[in-house]
Structures are given as C-alpha cells and as structure tokens.
Structure 1
Amino acid sequence: KDHNIQISMNGTGRTIDNIIIERFFRTLKQNNVYISDYQTIKELKEGIKVYMHKYNFKRFHSSLNYQKPMTVYLDFIQKSA
C-alpha cells in the first residue's frame, strides 16, 4: 500500500487473474525452452537471457501495434518527462 502496488490475484480459480504473464510464459516456453537443447542450468539462464533481449528489443508485438516493447516503453518515458 505504501508504494501504490496492488495484488493482481484476487480469487481462487479465477482464470483471468494472471492471463498476461501466463501468455508470456507460454510464448517463452514454445519459442525457446521447448525447442532448445539446454544441458545445464547455466545454458538455460543464458538462453532465456538472449531470448528476453530479442523479445523486448527486436521482436514486433501485435498487441503493441507491431512495435517493439522497448520502443513503446521509451516513447512513453519520453512523453511523460
């Protein structure tokens, strides 16, 4: 409450509480984890790190009007300043 943060989950069995993060994890698993042959935790961490960079800096997102997340974020920060 001190930092104006709200819990996103508010009920047992509510399928929409975490829909955005659940969709992201599905994308991460389908586009990286399931198709990669990671042999160690270190390889997994590095692979996810590389994927996250591509996801945020290189990949166009239909939900963002086919823009890259970091572009949208930086535009928002610039307009808010």
Structure 2
Amino acid sequence: MIDPTAQLSVSRQAIVLGISRGSVYYRPRPVPDADLKLMHRIDKL
C-alpha cells in the first residue's frame, strides 16, 4: 500500500510495487442508478 508520509516518494513506492503512479491517485466514480438498471436488464437477456 502506498504511504504518502513514508520516507520513499510516492513515485518510488509505485515503482517498487510495480504499479503506475496514476493508479495511486485513481478514485472510481459511482455508477449512476440508470446505468445499473440497464445493466441488470441486459444481464437478464
């Protein structure tokens, strides 16, 4: 897990973990209810 308060920089921690720096800051957006309903209808087909 990335620790921004650690002695290693965030970019160095990302390199050690083998992940991109962008993924450290990524926050997923919630899926709108209308999209969820549509996905459930598609799943039923």
Higher RCO (CA-CA < 8 Å; seq separation 6+): 2
TM-score normalised by structure 2 residue count = 0.34
Larger Rg: 2
